[in-house]
Chains A and B, each alone.
Chain A
Amino acid sequence: MCGIAGIFFKGANSNQVLGKALVDMLDGCQHRGPDSTGFALYKEGIDGLRLRFLVEPEDEQAPRRIRAALAAQGARIERETREGVSFVFDVAFEGEIRPFAYAMEHAAKLVSMGTSLDIIKDVGSSHDLDSIYHVGEVHGSHGIGHVRLATESDVKPESAHPFWATGFADIAIVHNGQITNYWKMRRRLEARGFEFRTDNDSELIAVYLADKMAHGTPLETALEESVDDLDGTFSFLVSTKNGIGYAKDRLAAKPMVMYEDEQLVAIASEEVSLNRLFPGRPLATTEPAPGTHRTWSR
């Protein structure tokens, strides 16, 4: 139960004020989800691989556990910072990502991993997160965001979106809706060795798509297949190292509006979010048709 937003700046070397754009868009639809907010930002300037962990304030041993786990996996720490409820580690790592990710999750809650992806999420509003994590200052090429009204699970930072496709670097998802064949889909993926960190259906979509892409399926095709494979109501945005895409269920139960011009593509649950990018300007927006998908990449 929530609101979603995404933005993709066109052009080869886009390095725009990405964070500010997403902070504003999510503020525009915060009424859809007042409990928590999150961003998946794609940017340059990460040294090697970035891992972001959520750590309970009283868990003083967490940094030591993370450092030990990184060392055990042969990852070299380049940089280490603490922001809000998260610890950020930029590491040099050459091995296989999935086993590395699963191993690291035993040290602390790993919510993001990528060479350009950084997922920042916490309880509170878009502006709350901006003041703690300085999201608005982040420059980058594209990103997605989410505001959440917690229904079934608790109001906790780790329940916030976006979800990282656990085990696959640089893939994230934000989703509005409910997948009704969640357990069936999850059992199939688990039978093939995938691990899930939450019971959230959005994590499932991320892993489902990432798995297809890992097997060489283009994102475009993976999204097309997702409309057939997933039951329920959904409007979701997926982001990869190179771009973003959306898919919408055949029932069109969850809203989605998009705006595109020569500089950018912006997609959101409501037009009010798109208008935050262009105050006072009527926009030529379109509503994606039921059962459709699309991608943009560089």
Chain B
Amino acid sequence: MVTIDLAVTPVREANETMRAAAARGEDIEIANPDARHHIGVGLIAPVRVKVKGSAGYFCAGLSHGADFEVDSNVGWGVGDSMYAGSVVVGGNAGAIAGVALRGGEVVVKGNIGSRAGQVMKSGTLLCCGNASFLAGYMMYGGRLIILGDSGERVGEDMSGGEVFVGGKVANLGADAKFADITDQDLDEINAFLQKYDIVFTGNFKKIVSAGTKLHYGATEPITRPQPHTVFSAEGVYWNPKVTEDIAVKSQIGRYRIRGYGAAKAVPHFTDIALKLDPNRIGAGDPLKSVNLAMVLGNRFGAKPLNLSMPVLIAPMSYGALSKSTKIALGRASRLSGIVENTGEGGMLPEERAEAAQLIFQCLSGRLGWNIHDMLRADALEIYISQGAKPGLGGQLMAKKVTKELAAIRGIPAGIDLRSPSRHPDILGADDLVIKVEELREATGYTKPISIKMGAGRVRDDIKIAYKDGFDFVQLDGLQGSTGAASTEVLENVGIPTLAAIQEALDGLNDIGHKGDMPIVLMGGIKDGVDAVKALALGASAVAMGTAALIAGGCISCMQCHVGNCVTGIATQDPEHEARYKLDRQALAIHRFLEAVRWQIAALTAALGHSDFRQLSRDDLVALTPEAAAITGLPYDPDYRGVAGEFHTKVA
């Protein structure tokens, strides 16, 4: 038995001591916890931990196999994303008890706060007292048992799992319904209560998902696909896409969903020119004379990512994309010496094996989020929003939730899957700082932690990202793409990529930290020319998503959201996926990335630099008054070259 006194030992050191003790198989006692946060976070060994007092936020979070006993209360998120094991709390629990529970058992002898069991996937959460409102909010699976009364809106938007209430149910949440309780239910509940020596003699009410909210009254008619390249090139008034939208809406009476990003023209990198001499492009071997290598993510001493050039693969999920496509992206990233990103929905083992460096994303639904893959990742990323649809969650229809996909995401197969629009435990900058700390504690401060955000109030948000201790920011402008979103949001919510980077730089400047936190810019970055302009404006690196998909065979046919992608990219249908030639497409993506590398190197050399970090705003001019107004660059339309690609001053 190891005793750790938190009155004298900082939590970070205590967690390290706990991990070492657990590795030796020694049980642990925590003295004077005094409600400190992150006790036992990331503990993955079958040991007993006794907390002699109250614990703070995320007690036993991201643990696997340990048995915790807390004498008194716990704060928010007890047992967060726990894989297996148990937590027994003698007193009350704060909000989101058992959040994202992936397995194991959480028993709270007293009351539990609001949103208990939010996005839980498996395991059991038992509350012996009363539950506050929104119990079982958006749960995917598992079992929530409340012996006392439950507050309002029980089971709000749950898509799977079961809630049992022994006392009064204030009222049901949206899309929840009462169901008949079976003898098997009761036998299992009684066995569970007996295991923890809890006596209960009342009757239970059972609440499950009604499953009505996810279904549309009318399905979209089949129309001839119009490639994004066609309708985004047309005029803004009565082009074929606009008329098709009107025709379809007149039949279905609601909004439409599509993939890709904004199609309307907004000021972008094409409205900026490089002040270079075209005769200097390609002279010598720019790949030898220009340094493109960089490290990312060492702001707080974590092991950083090593990039051979300032380019990343943008986050895209297994789910939106087929497994083959994810593997191809992983392989291409390795061949080009850059970094891949899991996107939402967990880490594919094959993707992990292919990608030499992989960022693991944590989203609001915590789908596939778990301690083991966190430890396997090279960096962790908290997704707040994306450029294509800032502020929105998502949904995946049951037919796309295959067995394999469900297993990785940790949810029951075949359910209509809702992804929440918000994180359960990030409702403000103040909560976020505690979340970041949890991820650092769980991984022993070894992984860089980034934040992905869509471009909304960037000037404010970037300050929060800086203050909340992120290693870097992935900033996604309006033109960022997605697998499915409504046109209203795709075209109209958020600010353009160009404005986003400028606001981010201004925001950091406001607080005196310009250049102190890297910004990876994405959202319509098409090639190395865009990349050079972004870097010169002040981005530290860029990320490419759509460009990489197109390089790997995407024909922009706009069927991403339907799941019937003919190229086998945006689909989970085995017949469609069989068309995807993984080996060939991985090499195609790699070749494209190498072309990007040459462009960045050649343009950097032509501008007279030997390192991409020497690129600066002095290398740029704005070709339109709008771009000048957004970026503050000098307006000089004389640089508009006839070729449109590499610009030079005509006069």
The chain A residues found within 8 Å of chain B, CB to CB, are: 1-3, 31-35, 149-152, 154-155, 176-178, 233, 252-255, 257, 269-272, 274-276, 279-287, 289-290
Contacts and interface: CB of A to CB of B under 8 A. Distances in A.
Given A33-B430, A283-B54, A272 B92 contact: no
A257 B76 CA distance: 11
Contact of B53 (A155, A255, A276, A280): A280
B150 interface: no
A149 B437 CA distance: 16
B56 A287 contact: no
B464 interface: yes
A274 B149 CA distance: 27
Contact of A31 (B53, B151, B434): B434
A287 B132 contact: yes
14 contacts: A1-B428, A1-B464, A31-B434, A32-B430, A35-B467, A149-B433, A151-B464, A252-B113, A270-B75, A275-B35, A282-B54, A282-B73, A283-B72, A285-B91
B75 A254 contact: no
A274 B151 contact: no
A254 B428 CA distance: 9
Contact of A2 (B75, B430, B460): B430
A1 B428 CA distance: 6
B94 A282 contact: no
A173 to B, nearest CB: 17
B467 A289 contact: no
B133 interface: yes
Nearest to A251: B114
Nearest to B152: A290
Contacts of A257: 75, 94
B116 to A, nearest CB: 11
A236 to B, nearest CB: 14
Interface in B70-122: 71-73, 75-76, 91-92, 94-95, 111, 113-115
Contacts of A32: 430, 433-434
Interface in B1-57: 7, 31-32, 34-37, 52-54, 56-57
B427 interface: yes
A255 B132 CA distance: 13
Nearest to B57: A270
Top 7 A-B residue pairs of the complex, sorted by shortest distance between their CB atoms: A282-B72, A271-B35, A1-B429, A275-B34, A252-B114, A32-B430, A272-B35
Contacts of A271: 35, 54, 56, 73, 75, 94
A287 B460 contact: no
A151 B54 contact: no
Contacts of A290: 114, 132-133, 151
Contacts of B34: 272, 275-276, 279-280
Interface string B134-152: 0000000000000000010
A279 B463 CA distance: 34
B467 A255 contact: no
B148 to A, nearest CB: 13
Contacts of A35: 467
A275 B460 contact: no
B511 interface: yes
A289 B511 CA distance: 37
A275 B468 CA distance: 24
A149 B36 contact: no
B54 A289 contact: no
Given A2-B430, A253-B427, A279-B34, A287 B57 contact: no
Interface in B486-533: 510-511
A70 to B, nearest CB: 36
B610 to A, nearest CB: 38
B464 A252 contact: no
B511 A155 contact: yes
Given A252-B115, A270-B35, A289-B133, 6 more contacts: A1-B429, A31-B434, A31-B437, A32-B434, A151-B429, A282-B54
A292 B468 CA distance: 30
A33 B429 CA distance: 9
A154 B510 CA distance: 8
A10 to B, nearest CB: 23
B318 to A, nearest CB: 31
A233 B427 contact: yes
Given A32-B433, A283-B54, A252 B460 contact: no
Contact of B7 (A31, A150, A280): A280
A250 to B, nearest CB: 8
B54 to A, nearest CB: 5
B430 A284 contact: no
Contacts of A274: 35
Contacts of B72: 282-283
B414 to A, nearest CB: 32
A76 B511 CA distance: 41
A3 B430 contact: yes
Nearest to B133: A290
Contacts of A33: 430
B132 A149 contact: no
A283 B35 CA distance: 9
Q: Which of A2, A32, A252, A271 has the most C-beta atoms of chain B within 10 angstroms of its own C-beta?
A: A271
A255 B511 CA distance: 28
A178 B7 CA distance: 34
Given A35-B467, A177-B428, A255 B95 contact: yes
Contact of A255 (B52, B76, B468): B76
Contacts of B94: 255, 257, 271, 287
A255 B151 CA distance: 17
Contacts of A272: 34-37, 56, 75
Contacts of A31: 433-434, 437
Nearest to B74: A271
Contacts of B467: 34-35, 149-150
Given A255-B95, A275-B34, A287-B113, A282 B429 contact: no
A279 B56 contact: no
A281 B31 CA distance: 10
A276 B36 CA distance: 10
B458 to A, nearest CB: 12
Q: Which of A154, A233, A270, A281 has the most C-beta atoms of chain B within 10 angstroms of its own C-beta?
A: A270
B441 to A, nearest CB: 13
Interface string B412-431: 00000000000000011110
B7 A176 contact: no
A285 B53 contact: no
B395 to A, nearest CB: 22
Contacts of A276: 34
B464 A282 contact: no
A2 B427 CA distance: 11
Contacts of A233: 427-428
